[in-house]
Amino acid sequence: MESFNELNISKQLQYAIADLGFETPTPIQAQSFSVIMSGADMVGIAQTGTGKTFAYMLPILQDLKFSKQVHPRVMVLVPTRELVLQVVEEIEKFGKYSSVRVVGIYGGTNINNQKEAVAQGTDIIVATPGRLYDLIISRAIQLKTIKKVVIDEVDVMLDLGFRFQLTNILELLPDKRQNIMFSATMTDEVNAFIHDFFIAPTTVSVAVSGTPLENISQYTYAVPNFYTKVNLLLHILKDEKQFRKTLVFVPNKKSADMVFDLLDDCFGSEVAVIHSNKTQNYRIRSIENFNSEKTRILVTTDVMARGLDLDRISHVINFDTPVFPENYMHRIGRTGRAEQEGTAILLYTEKEKDAKEAIETLMGLKIEEIDLPKDLEIATQLTYDEQPQVIEINNPTNEEEAGPAFHEKKEKNRKENQGGSYKRIIKLKYKKPKTRGDKNFKKNKRGK
């Protein structure tokens, strides 16, 4: 498809698209439009950064007629607060020349303000499952008018443990509705979720996660341990011109804080961190500063970075090697966007070698390995997980490590202590009768 004009969309949407500078729809946008407009259930499989938000919002806004009703007609569920804010902003851009009303619902802020916003009337609700479920239980949101439901980044939501809330929300919705779901990966859990709630969905699959983007250069370093990884990170990030906007992925919140603290000592205000334990204001400020290039290094976890609108990223550095190869694809997909050149760097230890090879197998190519810089300091300090574990023979961690001091109990010692024969006889004799009939029966017996 060569232009948005071929989609036969309204003038209001055409003006908004022109203002945004979009000319040609991405593959996921072109293929999704007719399916969503038909009213059929749809499952979209596409990588982060392929224009998924616009793919589902363009046909929804095209089909959304003006209404003064208070209760929402469209519900969009996303995994994180940042993604709520981003989708709301995108909808406001797309609906610039129409009267569409949109409200963002997410945790970490005053719930009463959100109740007031919903009470004033809205067409579209964009929400995280947890806070939305709270508002549904308190009857602040009525679901009877919902016609379309979009579940974006569903694989992340299931990973975060939102299945309970998602299930309850979907079961409360009207039976007659259109279900639209987008996911970066098709896992067994996602597949089971689809079969539970979708009716003969049409699958639109674009940019399969095993296919690397052609404009991303990939390199890898074999590194002995965690602190040597930090030293390497400090070494390469000193090149400010080359590493002008770098996203550093770490496996969890604890690692994010450790890496940030070590980078902060060297780079100060040039580095920021986001993860779910940070306050909402801090997270928003960190993202804004990174996008405006006030900071050039952002340390983050997989969950926080999924779906975020982070443009013009020059480098993605994988501080750890993802256990699931698909996560590597999501990470490197943050760079090399909009036909720009990007670079992805992977750091791996001997323990992570199998995970690296799994990534290469998925992509069908070998990542170019670079030798460590000659002046790089190889750290001798080890993290707790890297330290050799001492196995005490008399304090085994599992049955296989039990030494000769451990043996099976003798048969006489296996018997349960029941309190002695005298206590058992007394308890049996004077036990509480189960029914009045039993009590009378015993009285009659004693009377004889």
**Res 329: pLDDT:** 82
Let me know whether 174 and 276 are in one domain: no
Let me know whether 296 and 157 are in one domain: no
Let me know whether 286 and 148 are in one domain: no
Does 15 map to a domain?
yes
Of 183, 205, 227, the last residue of a domain is 205
Let me know whether 11 and 145 are in one domain: yes
Let me know whether 348 and 325 are in one domain: yes
**Res 283: pLDDT:** 81
Let me know whether 220 and 193 are in one domain: no
Does 175 map to a domain?
yes
Let me know whether 201 and 226 are in one domain: no
Does 404 map to a domain?
no
Let me know whether 192 and 334 are in one domain: no
Domain count along the chain = 2
Of 306, 340, 369, the last residue of a domain is 369
Quote the tokens at residue 351.
């323990």
The CA distance from 284 to 202, in Å, is 36
Let me know whether 230 and 249 are in one domain: yes
CA distance between the termini of the chain: 101
The CA distance from 349 to 347, in Å, is 7
Q: What phi and psi values does residue 143 have, to the nearest 5 degrees?
A: -100, -5
Q: How far is CA 433 from CA 399, 418, 439, in A?
A: 46, 21, 6
pLDDT in tens, the chain (448 residues): 567 778 888 889 989 988 888 888 888 888 999 999 999 999 988 776 677 888 999 999 999 988 888 999 999 999 888 889 989 999 999 888 888 999 999 988 899 999 999 999 999 999 999 899 999 999 999 899 999 999 988 877 876 778 888 889 999 999 999 999 988 777 677 888 888 888 889 988 875 554 556 788 999 999 999 999 999 999 999 999 999 999 999 988 888 899 999 999 999 999 999 887 777 778 888 888 998 889 999 999 877 666 566 778 999 999 999 888 878 887 888 887 766 789 999 999 999 999 999 999 988 889 999 999 999 999 888 887 878 877 666 665 555 555 555 566 666 666 666 656 666 666 666 665 555 555 454 545 455 4
3-class SS shares of the chain: helix, strand, coil, % to 5: 45, 15, 45
The CA distance from 105 to 77, in Å, is 10
Let me know whether 170 and 238 are in one domain: no
Q: What is the domain-level CATH number for residue 150?
A: 3.40.50.300
The CA distance from 223 to 322, in Å, is 15
Question: CB neighbours of 101 closer than 8 A, spacing ≥ 6?
Answer: 121, 122, 123, 124
Nearest Cα neighbor of 394 from 409, 407, 413, 411 is 407
Does 286 map to a domain?
yes
Quote the tokens at residue 56.
């589902």
The CA distance from 52 to 328, in Å, is 19
Task: Find out whether 172 and 208 touch, Cβ atoms under 8 Å.
Answer: no
Nearest Cα neighbor of 306 from 53, 23, 24, 20 is 53
- Look up the domain containing 177 and give its range: 4-205
Torsion angle defined by CA atoms of residues 391, 393, 398 and 404, in that order, rounded to the nearest 10 degrees: 160
Distance of CA 96 to the CA centre of its chain: 29
The dihedral through the CA atoms of 329, 335, 340, 346 has a sign that is: negative
Of 369, 401, 432, the last residue of a domain is 369
What amino acid is encoded at 301 in this protein?
Answer: T
Does 383 map to a domain?
no
Does 162 map to a domain?
yes
β strands within 198-296, DSSP E: 202-205, 216-222, 246-249, 271-274
Burial class of residue 17 (count of CB atoms within 10 Å of its CB; 0-12, 13-18, 19+): buried
Nearest Cα neighbor of 193 from 223, 171, 176 is 171
Cβ count within 10 A of residue 366 = 11
Let me know whether 137 and 60 are in one domain: yes
Residue whose tokens read 């990030």: 237
Does 419 map to a domain?
no
Let me know whether 236 and 168 are in one domain: no
β strands within 10-53, DSSP E: 42-45
Nearest Cα neighbor of 77 from 187, 197, 176 is 197
Our CA angle for 64, 55, 106, nearest 5°, is 75
**Res 163: pLDDT:** 84
What amino acid is encoded at 364 in this protein?
Answer: G
The backbone region for 307, taken as left when phi is positive above 0, alpha when psi lies in -120 to 50, beta otherwise, is left
Our CA angle for 127, 130, 136, nearest 5°, is 75
Nearest Cα neighbor of 248 from 270, 265, 233, 232 is 233
**Which pTM value belongs to this model?**
0.67
Nearest Cα neighbor of 87 from 70, 112, 104 is 104
**Res 5: pLDDT:** 76
Does 395 map to a domain?
no
